[in-house]
Amino acid sequence: MLLAERFAASSVFLRDWAPIWSTPVFAMHDGGWFTDLPEVARWIDGDGRCSDTTTNAASHRCAEELDILDAFESGAGGVGLPAVLLELSRAARRLCALSPIAKGAQRVSVRPRDARFLSEHKWRQVVRFIEALPPLTAGASYADWCAGKGHLARTLSLTASIGVTRLERDPDLCAEGTRLAEKMGASSPAAAVDVMTDTVFDHIDASTHVLALHACGALHRRLIRIARAGRVVGISLAPCCYPLTDELPYAPLSTAGRSEGLRLEIEALRLAVRGARDPLGRRARRQRRAQAWRIAFDLLRRERTGASSYTSQPSLPDSAFGGTFRDFAQRLARQIGLDLGPLTDVESAEAEGYRRLARVRRAEMVTAIFSRPLELWLVTDLALALTESGLQVELGTFCDSATTPRNLLLNASADPRLLTSKTYASWR
């Protein structure tokens, strides 16, 4: 399927289900879409499980329920999702099926000891990114967009024996990048520059192929605009952090995107980059206890003060969550100057905290179905903005999602020969 066709199909899917993905999770129980999907509403409510919230035993039951949800999300099976959600998940997966970008000519042959300056994860991302690049050409210059410490620039320089300029605003990161490059004998000079300003054109021109590994919202939007204007010969972009832009609600860069009329507020952009949950285990359970207790405390606070909305709570050390909920509530109350009174209802508040947390988690599982479709819609908008300007584009994954969930790569060039060893628009 062509990019544009897939984009149109994704737009229909997202438009049809917009009431779900555009409703913030905390507001879901008030949301109108519940009335249309009573089966989902009942499931989010726990199908009657955890309905008794008056005792300590109820807290334990709700906590067990959260274990089951965690297990389900980590692929270990468990919760029976309502049929409509299973269908939606399948539809989302079909729409998001993308081929990996074929490996190009570059194989990273840098000795493993060279990888010691970066984490195992980052190293794998850099290697996969380089292997998915279009063929390097003799006449082109190369620049690493928002390079950080320049891991990508340094590794590519060593791999292909070429110069790769590091464009980076932070002088400390520039200096550290220079130190590492010199240590390794890489040719990757720093350009301390704010890429949002025109001074960036002192370092790139119409012969530059710009590489951008995990460039955030405004930074990758700027790069797309530069590529559209023909001010570089090509780009290889793995975007991330879509919410980091002032252009809100999301302003599509392609004509196709604008004509779809989808309204993506910042919550939808956050949903598009929602990471996987923490792994199971003690840490996850501690975190969950902290969340349930904070919800429970807020219930007590509202009851005592008559307030109707959530108020943010001060941060507390881990030790505050090591004792009982009663100890925690008294400590937090003292800290914010609230008189909680005799605290006879502490057990039911705690159990209700767990019950509500389980509810939020289930609601999150519903919205998570739309996470990847939203991300792909955003990246396809960028891709179409480039094709509309006459550039050749290929879009695919450059690594698996365990290496990084932000694993989409867009190779684009004004010169079709630069992408000739690849299939364009590599949708499966």
What minimum distance in Å lies between the beta carbon of 42 and ligand SAM?
A: 41
Query: Which residues, other chains included, contact 50 with Cβ-Cβ below 8 Å and sequence gap of 6+?
Result: 58, 61, 62, 65, 351, 354, 355, 358
Query: Which residues, other chains included, contact 72 with Cβ-Cβ below 8 Å and sequence gap of 6+?
Result: 78, 79, 365
What minimum distance in Å lies between the beta carbon of 252 and ligand SAM?
A: 22
Pick the closer one to ligand SAM by CB: 68 or 192: 192
What minimum distance in Å lies between the beta carbon of 123 and ligand SAM?
A: 11
Question: Strand pairing partners for 393?
Answer: 412
Pick the closer one to ligand SAM by CB: 213 or 346: 213
What minimum distance in Å lies between the beta carbon of 148 and ligand SAM?
A: 3
Pick the closer one to ligand SAM by CB: 127 or 146: 146
What minimum distance in Å lies between the beta carbon of 215 and ligand SAM?
A: 7
What minimum distance in Å lies between the beta carbon of 88 and ligand SAM?
A: 31
- Return residues touching ligand SAM (CB under 6 A): 146-148, 151, 167-170, 173, 194-196, 213-214, 216, 219
Pick the closer one to ligand SAM by CB: 123 or 297: 123
Q: At what angle do helices 346-368 and 325-336 cross, to 10 degrees?
A: 90
Please say whether the beta carbons of 166 and 189 come within 8 A.
yes
Pick the closer one to ligand SAM by CB: 3 or 146: 146
Provide long-range contacts, Cβ within 8 A and 24+ apart, for 222-229. Answer: 222/195, 222/196, 223/145, 223/195, 224/253, 224/382, 224/385, 224/386, 225/253, 226/200, 227/386, 227/389, 227/391, 227/412, 228/253, 228/385, 228/386, 228/389, 228/391
Cα→Cα distances 380→53, 71, 167, 188, 327, Å: 46, 32, 25, 31, 51
Residue type, position 106, single letter: Q
Tell me the three state secondary structure of residue 274. coil
Pick the closer one to ligand SAM by CB: 173 or 204: 173
Q: What are phi and psi of 225, to 5 degrees?
A: -65, -40
Pick the closer one to ligand SAM by CB: 4 or 216: 216
What minimum distance in Å lies between the beta carbon of 403 and ligand SAM?
A: 12
Terminal CA-to-CA distance of the chain, rounded, Å? 7
Please say whether the beta carbons of 304 and 286 come within 8 A.
no
What minimum distance in Å lies between the beta carbon of 257 and ligand SAM?
A: 24
Pick the closer one to ligand SAM by CB: 173 or 425: 173
